[in-house]
Amino acid sequence: MPPTPYVPAVGELVWDAARKCVGEVMDHRWSRYQLRPPAGGTEWHAAPEDIRPVPSAAGRRPGCSECVRIKAAYYAASRAGNLGEASALTEAMGRHQRIAHP
Ligand SMILES: [Zn+2]
């Protein structure tokens, strides 16, 4: 007996195993899912067999582009030994999280 397929609702965040990223379900028709980056952007199509529930770590802050941007800038600054910039970015992250992820 095949396992029950995972059927997400429209608006739900899912994991696309083929693209290895999180998407928001926009539509489900013709046995394809139409997904969109949670932070907005170009939609793409995913096959139902690639759709999984979001892994819990990724689901907590699904694709917040600002978190990703700040984190990347922080790592770049600390790798470059720019401690002032790194600590400013730590503060920026704290401010952003208070506002965007209370
Ligand atoms: Zn964020």
How many structural domains is the chain composed of? 2
> Measuring CA to CA, which residue among 50, 53, 21, 55 is closest to residue 38?
21
Whether 50 and 77 map to the same domain: the answer is: no
Residue 3: predicted pLDDT:
60
> What is the per-residue pLDDT across 48-87, written as a single tens digit (0 to 9) for each?
999 988 765 444 545 678 888 888 899 899 999 999 999 9
Residue 34: which CATH number?
A: 2.30.30
Distance 66 CA to ligand 1 centre (A): 5
Distance 43 CA to ligand 1 centre (A): 21
Q: Give the predicted TM-score (pTM) of the model.
A: 0.51
Write phi, then psi, for 24 (nearest 5 degrees).
-95, 130
Per the CB < 8 A criterion, the answer to whether 8 and 14 are in contact is yes
Domain boundary among 41, 58, 75: 58
Write phi, then psi, for 53 (nearest 5 degrees).
-60, 150
Residue 16: predicted pLDDT:
93
Q: What is the arithmetic mean of pLDDT over 20-31?
A: 88
Q: Which residues surround ligand 1, an ion (CB under 5 A)?
A: 64, 66-67, 100
- Domain range for 38: 13-58
Distance 100 CA to ligand 1 centre (A): 6
Q: Is residue 6 part of a domain?
A: no
Whether 76 and 51 map to the same domain: the answer is: no
Per the CB < 8 A criterion, the answer to whether 96 and 67 are in contact is yes
